[in-house]
């Protein structure tokens, strides 16, 4: 409806990149910090991250993995041990070379030349090497295995081009690292982690994903296998939402992670690593955001229900507040999706209408307004953020519900919102994956002719390697396309390779990507 007055100035369909930035500022998620590529995550954005942390951490612990913390600084020499790893990260590393500043005589400070570090330290871009060191100390016998560690930390990668949440120089993440006796066990763990991600991202963030293996040229530096979950954003681009790697024995070799087996022989461990980051918040924005701001899925919403009293500087204000407080208390005693309902009674001064739009932009799942008349009728005015508009009249859709009915139905309401956000995203994704193209020229043409939101294409290929693969990558690059992954649950190949015409061996997803 064109007569709807949306809360944002930019619409998704007009300028998706600009819209994305506007959501971040309008929903008060984060802001620029003045330091290149680094952002300040504000309370509402951080609150969403904390919800993710809590839910993911529960899953990690339930899988028998323990949290620990390793240093931010890694000796340079550690990095030099694994050749592919060096190649992958060397060009984007922050390096610490001094440990003291002195006055430069002009009122400023400079690194003290006399305080140069013997060996430079790098700021971790990931922790395989330093955790590998620890594992080498901790593992002696087959009885010490499997060793399964996770850490929540910040990492730094000196990115050339940054975008808030999606690619920042410093970001927050969790990285899991495990060591196993055999290849089979390590592979099993690689998949278990991937499945943990799929479940958390789909069930908690309401972001449908496709799990699969990354092609050879997209592997983590040093990994034997890299698996990912890929999500489709509202502009049809793909976002790698999490990765899980089987590292083989190369990191074990580099760090000396060995165990004595039951026969008394020294064996190398097989290791894995897997990670998800604050990039997921960017995914939530681009999956669930709309032209009125963010829509936060209830499971990760810091406040699931926000109550706004309509205060007017009148004597009955106190009664309205008391009534709201009763509603708040009653809701807090209710549970939804396995946890107590999180309710905020927003008593901050200010007009109710202004506060309402603030919470709309932030994406609180349910907004409840209460005025004197609601109170006298024993009702509340309820808005669902995922169904904000009455399309008939272009006004906000509000249902005036008896208080007790609202309270007792709140649990189900939140579940419904969680489900409907997921269903909406899943349907959109499914409607935008095209299958059946059999020639490369068709694929190239498809992406050229389908405008701004072409979505993804699933095609078959012969899984080329070496020079043949390089040629394919060049072809894709010319169209700004990438191979996302080989979907784990896709059907077996039954056709020919779109690149070579040979017999195909598997199906791949091709898409533009973040």
Partner RNA sequence: CGGGGAGUGGCGCAGCCUGGUAGCGCACCUGUUUUGGGUACAGGGGGUCGCAAGUUCGAAUCUUGUCUCCCCGACCA
The least distance separating RNA from the CB of residue 107, rounded to whole angstroms, comes to: 11
- Radius of gyration of the chain from its Cα atoms, rounded to whole angstroms: 26
The least distance separating RNA from the CB of residue 502, rounded to whole angstroms, comes to: 26
The least distance separating RNA from the CB of residue 291, rounded to whole angstroms, comes to: 10
CA–CA distance, 75 with 87 (Å, rounded to integer): 17
CA–CA distance, 326 with 289 (Å, rounded to integer): 32
Cis ω for the linkage preceding 146 (within 30 of 0): yes
The least distance separating RNA from the CB of residue 469, rounded to whole angstroms, comes to: 14
The least distance separating RNA from the CB of residue 231, rounded to whole angstroms, comes to: 13
Nearer to RNA, 226 or 234 (CB): 226
Nearer to RNA, 80 or 430 (CB): 80
Nearer to RNA, 25 or 420 (CB): 25
Nearer to RNA, 337 or 444 (CB): 444
Angle in degrees, 0-180, between the axes of helices 43-62 and 183-203, rounded to the nearest 10: 140
Nearer to RNA, 117 or 398 (CB): 398
Task: Find out whether 302 and 47 touch, Cβ atoms under 8 Å.
Answer: yes
Nearer to RNA, 229 or 341 (CB): 229
Nearer to RNA, 353 or 423 (CB): 353
Our measurement of the distance from residue 227's CA atom to the centroid of its chain's CA atoms, rounded to an integer in Å, reads 15
The least distance separating RNA from the CB of residue 108, rounded to whole angstroms, comes to: 11
Nearer to RNA, 157 or 384 (CB): 157
The least distance separating RNA from the CB of residue 493, rounded to whole angstroms, comes to: 23
Nearer to RNA, 382 or 417 (CB): 382
Name the DSSP letter for residue 490: P
CA–CA distance, 414 with 416 (Å, rounded to integer): 5
Residue 479, both tokens: 């169209």
Nearer to RNA, 446 or 514 (CB): 514
Residue bearing tokens 């508009």: 389
Nearest C-alpha neighbor of 290 from the set 46, 19, 62, 37: 19
Angle (nearest 5°) at CA 326 between 321 and 330: 145
The least distance separating RNA from the CB of residue 242, rounded to whole angstroms, comes to: 8
The least distance separating RNA from the CB of residue 222, rounded to whole angstroms, comes to: 9
Task: Find out whether 383 and 397 touch, Cβ atoms under 8 Å.
Answer: yes
Find all residues with CB under 8 Å of 279, minimum gap 6, and list them.
Answer: 165, 166, 167, 171, 239, 241
The least distance separating RNA from the CB of residue 467, rounded to whole angstroms, comes to: 16
The least distance separating RNA from the CB of residue 246, rounded to whole angstroms, comes to: 12
Rounded to 5 degrees, φ, ψ at 108 are -110, -175
Name the DSSP letter for residue 264: S
Residues making contact with RNA (CB under 7 A): 5-7, 9, 17, 21, 25, 32, 34-38, 88, 91-92, 125-126, 155, 157, 159-164, 167, 171, 173, 214, 218-221, 226, 228, 240, 243, 275, 277, 279, 292, 310, 312, 314, 349-354, 357, 369, 371-375, 381, 396, 398, 400, 477, 480, 513
Task: Find out whether 93 and 122 touch, Cβ atoms under 8 Å.
Answer: yes
Nearest C-alpha neighbor of 228 from the set 276, 164, 187, 272: 276
Task: Find out whether 306 and 346 touch, Cβ atoms under 8 Å.
Answer: yes
Our measurement of the distance from residue 167's CA atom to the centroid of its chain's CA atoms, rounded to an integer in Å, reads 11
CA–CA distance, 217 with 475 (Å, rounded to integer): 14
Task: Find out whether 276 and 242 touch, Cβ atoms under 8 Å.
Answer: yes
Pairing label, strands 506-511, 456-461: antiparallel
Nearer to RNA, 395 or 426 (CB): 395
CA–CA distance, 187 with 271 (Å, rounded to integer): 9
């Amino acid at each position: 409806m064109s007569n709807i007055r949306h809360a944002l100035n930019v619409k998704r369909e007009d300028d998706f990149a600009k819209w994305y930035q506007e959501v971040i500022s309008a929903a008060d998620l984060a802001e620029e910090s003045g330091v290149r590529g680094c952002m300040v995550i504000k309370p509402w954005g951080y609150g969403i991250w904390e919800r993710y942390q809590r839910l993911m951490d529960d899953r990690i612990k339930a899988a028998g993995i323990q949290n620990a913390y390793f240093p931010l600084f890694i000796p340079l020499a550690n990095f030099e041990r694994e050749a592919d790893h060096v190649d992958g990260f060397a060009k984007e590393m922050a390096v610490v070379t001094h440990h003291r500043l002195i006055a430069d005589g002009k009122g400023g400070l400079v690194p003290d030349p006399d305080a140069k570090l013997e060996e430079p330290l790098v700021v971790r871009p990931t922790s395989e090497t330093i955790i590998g060191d620890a594992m080498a100390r901790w593992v002696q016998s087959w009885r010490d295995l499997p060793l399964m560690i996770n850490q929540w930390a910040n990492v730094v990668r000196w990115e050339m081009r940054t975008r808030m949440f999606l690619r920042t120089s410093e970001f927050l993440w969790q990285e899991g690292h495990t060591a196993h006796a055999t290849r089979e066990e390590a592979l099993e763990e690689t998949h278990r982690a991937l499945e943990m991600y799929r479940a958390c991202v789909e069930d908690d963030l309401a972001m449908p994903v496709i799990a699969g293996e990354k092609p050879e040229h997209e592997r983590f530096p040093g990994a034997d296998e890299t698996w990912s979950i890929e999500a489709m954003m509202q502009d049809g681009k793909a976002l790698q939402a999490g990765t899980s790697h089987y590292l083989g024995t190369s990191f074990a070799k580099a760090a000396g992670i060995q165990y004595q087996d039951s026969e008394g022989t020294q064996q190398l461990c097989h290791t894995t690593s897997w990670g998800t980051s604050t990039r997921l918040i960017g995914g939530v924005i681009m999956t669930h955001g709309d032209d009125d701001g963010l829509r936060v899925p209830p499971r990760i919403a810091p406040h699931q229900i926000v109550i706004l009293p309509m205060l007017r500087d009148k004597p009955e204000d106190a009664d309205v507040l008391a009534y709201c407080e009763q509603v708040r208390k009653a809701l807090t005693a209710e549970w939804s999706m396995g946890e107590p309902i999180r309710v905020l009674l927003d008593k901050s001064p200010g007009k109710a209408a202004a506060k309402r739009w603030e919470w709309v932009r932030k994406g609180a799942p349910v907004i409840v307004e209460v005025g004197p008349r609601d109170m006298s009728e024993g009702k509340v005015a309820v808005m669902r953020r995922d169904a904000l508009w009455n399309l008939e009249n272009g006004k906000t859709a509000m249902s005036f519900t008896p208080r007790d009915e609202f309270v007792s139905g709140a649990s189900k309401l939140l579940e419904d919102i969680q489900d409907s956000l997921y269903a909406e995203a899943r349907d959109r994704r499914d409607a935008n994956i095209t299958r059946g193209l059999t020639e490369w020229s068709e694929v190239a043409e498809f992406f050229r002719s389908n405008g701004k939101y072409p979505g993804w294409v699933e095609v078959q290929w012969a899984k080329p390697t070496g020079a043949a693969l390089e040629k394919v990558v060049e072809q894709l690059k010319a169209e700004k396309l990438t191979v996302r992954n080989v979907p784990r649950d896709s059907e077996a190949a039954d056709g020919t390779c779109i690149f070579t015409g040979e017999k195909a061996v598997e199906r791949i997803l091709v898409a533009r990507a973040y």
